[in-house]
């Protein structure tokens, strides 16, 4: 298992004010969740059934001998595609997501520029939501989290900074070590694991009926980020003729 805890920022030219703002918004919304509880979470998370049925509330269901009834969402229901990007299911969920965004988002924002980064982040979040809805359009399970949008940020980082060194905790059973690894390996291992988990979850019908990690959202956001990066990244400045050759 690999856990990134930092990366190289020597080439960064601007302050990542948008990235800091997104992190702040996620923390602010999480505090609202803690104060208002399940009613807020059920109303503003994205429920695939509601999205594909025009806002209709899914029928009651029984989980662990308890009858679960969903609450109607805002109007139009598609607002939840955005609100759910800033919501989290617990301390570990928000902690891990914000760690990844803190590490990888600043370099991507620096490369794109502030405005483009906002648009890119939201588009990746939408792509992640639609990917999850596509594989489970009738699911009544609320989906929430910044993971899909952050997966898009990882995709952009992989395209633009594959050789950047990432300070990583490597877990070897009960032992661990901290080392520097190229982003290509750290992010590459991450997306391979998401693909494997999604493959395993296809047959896990019990897990799908009671919730769990939305791996398809991670995959959808990541590949959306890979593709969008080629449209959002700045064009390289043409080099002078003498810079095109390596003298010897």
CATH number at residue 76: 1.20.1540.10
Do the domain assignments include residue 237?
no
Tell me how many domains the chain contains.
1
* Most confidently modeled range among 35-39, 67-71, 218-222: 218-222
Query: Is residue 223 in some structural domain?
Result: yes
Domain assignment of residue 16, yes or no: yes
Whether 89 shows a pLDDT value over 60: the answer reads yes
Strongest mean pLDDT among 48-57, 145-154, 227-236: 145-154
Spatial separation of the C-alpha atoms in residues 184 and 187, rounded to whole Å: 6
Strand partners, 167: 6, 180
Structure tokens at 42: 């059920």
Instruction: Name the residue range of residue 144's domain.
Output: 2-201+215-232
DSSP annotation of 133: H
- In the structure, what pLDDT confidence band is assigned to residue 98 with cuts at 50, 70 and 90? very high
pLDDT at 9: 84
Question: Is 139 in contact with 59 (CB distance < 8 Å)?
Answer: no
Overall average pLDDT of the 198-207 stretch: 65
Across 159-186, average pLDDT = 94
Residues 6+ apart with CB under 8 A from 49: 56, 58, 137, 138, 139, 140
The pLDDT of residue 225: 98
User: Does 111 reside within a domain?
Assistant: yes
**Tokens 């992640």, residue located:** 128
Percentages helix, strand, coil for the chain (3-state, rounded to 5) are 60, 10, 30
pLDDT confidence tier of residue 63, bands split at 50, 70 and 90: low
Confidence bin at 238 (pLDDT 50/70/90): very low
d(CA 194, CA 217): 10
Q: What is the average per-residue pLDDT within 100-120?
A: 97
User: Which pair of structure tokens corresponds to residue 21?
Assistant: 């703002």
Residue 229 has pLDDT above 70, yes or no: yes
Show the CA angle centred on residue 229, arms to residues 224 and 233, nearest 5°: 160
| 244, part of any domain | no
- Is 189 domain-assigned? yes
Distance CA 81, CA 2 (A): 30
Q: How far apart are CA 209 and CA 223, in angstroms?
A: 26
Query: In the structure encoding, which two tokens stand for residue 179, read together?
Result: 């080392």
Q: Is 3 helix (H, G, I), strand (E, B) or coil?
A: strand
Question: 206 pLDDT exceeds 70?
Answer: no
Task: Say what the pTM is.
Answer: 0.89
Counted residue by residue, the chain has a size of: 248
Question: Which one, of 5, 9, 80, 85, lies nearest residue 43 by Cα?
Answer: 80
Does residue 248 lie in a domain region? no
pLDDT greater than 90 at residue 240? no
Domain presence at residue 109: yes
């Amino acid at each position: 298992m690999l856990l990134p805890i930092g990366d190289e920022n020597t080439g960064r030219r601007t302050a990542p004010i948008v990235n800091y703002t997104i992190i702040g918004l996620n923390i602010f919304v999480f505090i609202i969740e803690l104060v208002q509880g399940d009613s807020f979470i059920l109303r503003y998370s994205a429920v695939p059934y509601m999205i594909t049925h025009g806002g209709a509330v899914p029928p009651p269901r029984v989980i662990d001998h308890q009858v679960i009834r969903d609450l109607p969402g805002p109007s139009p229901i598609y607002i939840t595609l955005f609100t759910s990007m800033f919501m989290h299911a617990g301390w570990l969920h928000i902690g891990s997501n914000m760690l990844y965004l803190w590490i990888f988002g600043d370099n991507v924002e620096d490369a794109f520029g502030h405005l483009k980064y906002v648009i890119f982040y939201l588009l990746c979040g939408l792509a992640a939501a639609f990917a999850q809805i596509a594989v489970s359009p009738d699911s009544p399970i609320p989906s929430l989290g910044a993971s899909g949008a952050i997966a898009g940020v990882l995709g952009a980082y992989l395209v633009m900074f594959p050789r950047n060194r990432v300070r990583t905790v490597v877990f070897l059973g009960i032992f661990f070590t901290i080392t520097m690894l190229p982003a290509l390996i750290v992010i590459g291992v991450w997306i391979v694991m998401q693909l494997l988990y999604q493959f395993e979850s296809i047959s896990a019908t019990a897990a799908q009926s009671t919730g769990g990690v939305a791996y398809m959202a991670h995959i959808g956001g990541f590949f959306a980020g890979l593709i969008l990066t080629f449209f959002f990244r700045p064009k390289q400045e043409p080099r002078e003729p003498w810079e095109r050759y390596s003298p010897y």
